[in-house]
Amino acid sequence: METTTGALLASGSKMTSGEMRWNPTLICVPIMGDSVGEMLVDTGKAKASGADLVEIRLDCLKNFSPHEDLKTIIKHCPLPTLFTYRPKWEGGQYEGDEKERLDVLRLAMELGADYIDVELQVALEFNNSIRGKKPEKCRVIVSSHNYQCTPSAEDLGNLVATIQATGADIVKFATTALDITDVARVFQITVHSQVPVIALVMGERGLISRILCAKFGGYLTFGTLESGIVSAPGQPTIRDLLDLYNFRQLGPDTKVFGIIGKPVGHSKSPILYNEAFKSAGFDGVYVHLLVDDVAKFFQTYSSSDFAGFSCTIPHKEAAVKICNEVDQVAKSIGAVNCIMRRSDGELFGCNTDYVGAISAIEDGLRGRENGSGIVGSPLSGKLFVVIGAGGAGKALAYGAKEKGARVAIANRTYERAKELADIVGADALTLADLNNFHPEDGMILANTTSIGMQPKVDETPISKDVLKYYSLVFDAVYTPKVTRLLREAEESGASTVSGLEMFIGQAYEQYERFTGLPAPKELFRKTMANY
């Protein structure tokens, strides 16, 4: 019979938020200070941050006095301790005598360590040496690290069996993701493991292994105190695990959503949707998905666990071909930015950029023209210049045309501008033409290239001198919120509409498709107000 928890957590149904935990996966903060004092300060920060335990990386200590330092750390550490003394031959910093290294780990165990991490290569020898002497509370993690790749499922299964055969209490392996699809094999191992397993995939393409281990039954994950200060590539901060991904509320029925793109780390979508999921008590998590090959991604993550996706550069056009069905507007635009997996497993694609952007621009124009009793769209009859001919460019060109504007499209690759112009019935320009293109005043400009997007914030797609011919300038780029283009447009007297308005607007329909719940528009605005 389903437990109360199970009933509450039936996928997509309400669940209580707050401090309740919906998974047993522990969060471990790696402690890498070069002195015991610094380490103890960081263990205090880890405790305050909500960590379940800390990993003391003894190989980071300078001037390490084992007996004295281990006693001090164990005595004063406010959290359960995992001691690791990683040798250089396994990716750590220790270069000394092996027997001395293992003696230190045995001493840590005798002095009260909760966990010891020892490498597979020496695990049998180590476990034989402590047989009958290991304190009840201490558990031995036997670990293996692959900094080159992620082996096949069969090889990973054999690795787990090999580690288990050494007498490990907990099996740990960390591999390297060359592609996000590598992580799927690791999830399979985790879900089917009969023993406690820590299975993590290093690198940006392995990020979901560190978050979704809570869904698939991993024993622990690592969360750092500061972004980028990591003990292995790709570790998120404990703050992000707890506050961005709602880690404690993830469970086996949690539906997975995410932003597919390359790059994708800049996307604010995880902030927006995870905050809204938490507020609504919706059992879902939204993650960054750094995807190289969209077809391969969907062939690999084909289960209903992976329920819905936003899609950004450079995959919007490819996404049209991946979907089993595409709605008419997205088909006309030739770009999909929202993909839903239906109950029959089929993928449905649509385009929400179109409505998000056009309605934001119309609102901006009405504001400028003080409504002035306009009947229909304020875009009607205006000359609407689109820079870019990618997914967003197609949405804007299509949308402006739909609203009765005259459209001109400028693009770095002129052929793409011409192709899109022919489809929607517009003029095509090269980027260079833009700086001499001002057939009339009161034009509308929409940048849909990634020019000016972080980190290249000093770039702009058009000369400031020409902006005086535009009454309104829109920039799809929303990181930063005010791009150089928007700043110079305002200085030139134009009204401006930021990509953040589009971002919030395009998210409404996506959220409703993801959850079946009305979009929390005020919450979306409040959430993004801080970014």
- By the criterion CB under 6 A, which residues form the site for ligand DHK? 259, 267, 269, 310, 312, 337, 353, 506
Residues near 305 by beta carbon (within 8 Å), at least 6 away in sequence: 215, 255, 256
Rounded to a whole number of angstroms, the minimum distance from the CB of residue 417 to ligand DHK is 19
Confirm or reject binding of residue 262 to ligand NAP (CB under 6 A). Answer: no
Q: Is the dihedral of CA 500, 501, 505, 511 positive or negative?
A: positive
Residues 432-491 that bind ligand NAP (CB under 6 A): 448-451, 453, 476-478
Q: Return the range that interacts with ligand NAP (CB under 6 A); candidates 126-134, 168-176, 368-376, 409-417.
A: 409-417
Choose between 269 and 471: whose C-beta lies nearer to ligand DHK.
269
Contact 374, 305 (CB under 8 A): no
Minimum CB distance to ligand NAP, residue 423 (Å): 14
- Tell whether residue 353 is a contact of ligand NAP (CB under 6 A): yes
* Nearest residue to 409 (alpha-carbon basis) of 419, 417, 398, 401: 417
- The least distance separating ligand DHK from the CB of residue 180, rounded to whole angstroms, comes to 16
CA dist 200 and 524 (Å) reads: 32
Residues forming the active site: 145, 172, 316, 353
Phi, psi angles (nearest 5°) of residue 274: -65, -35
Residue 416 contacts which entry, ligand NAP, ligand DHK, none (Cβ below 5-8 A, type-dependent): ligand NAP
Token pair of 143, please? 């670990």
By the 8 A CB rule, do 107 and 83 touch?
no
**Residue 392 interacts with ligand NAP (CB under 6 A): yes or no:** yes
224 is written with which tokens? 């750092």
Interacting residue with ligand NAP among 248, 316, 403, 484 (CB under 6 A):
316
Residue 260 CB, nearest approach to ligand NAP (Å): 11
**Strand ranges (E), 236-299:** 255-261, 284-290
- Which partner in ligand DHK, ligand NAP, none is near 269 (CB below 5 to 8 A by kind)? ligand DHK
Residue 292 · residue 180 · CB < 8 Å = yes
Contact (CB, 8 A) for 209 and 179: no
Dist. CA 253–CA 122, nearest whole Å = 38
Residue 460 interacting entry, from ligand NAP, ligand DHK, none, C-beta within 5 to 8 Å by type: none
Q: What is each CA distance from 144 to 121, 151, 396, in whole angstroms?
A: 8, 12, 50
Q: Smallest distance, Å, CB 402 to ligand DHK?
A: 18
| Residue 520 in contact with ligand NAP, rule: CB under 6 A | no
Nearest distance from C-beta of residue 336 to ligand DHK, angstroms: 9
**Cβ nearer to ligand NAP, comparing 83 with 437:** 437
Query: 115-119 and 406-411: which strand pairing?
Result: unpaired
What are the tokens at 504? 């919030």
C-beta separation of 28 from 53 below 8 A: yes
Q: Which does 310 bind (CB under 5 to 8 A by kind): ligand DHK, ligand NAP, none?
A: ligand DHK
Q: Looking at beta carbons, which residue is closest to ligand NAP?
A: 390
By CB under 6 A, name the binding residues for ligand NAP.
312-314, 316, 353, 356, 388-393, 411-413, 416, 448-451, 453, 476-478, 499, 502-503, 506
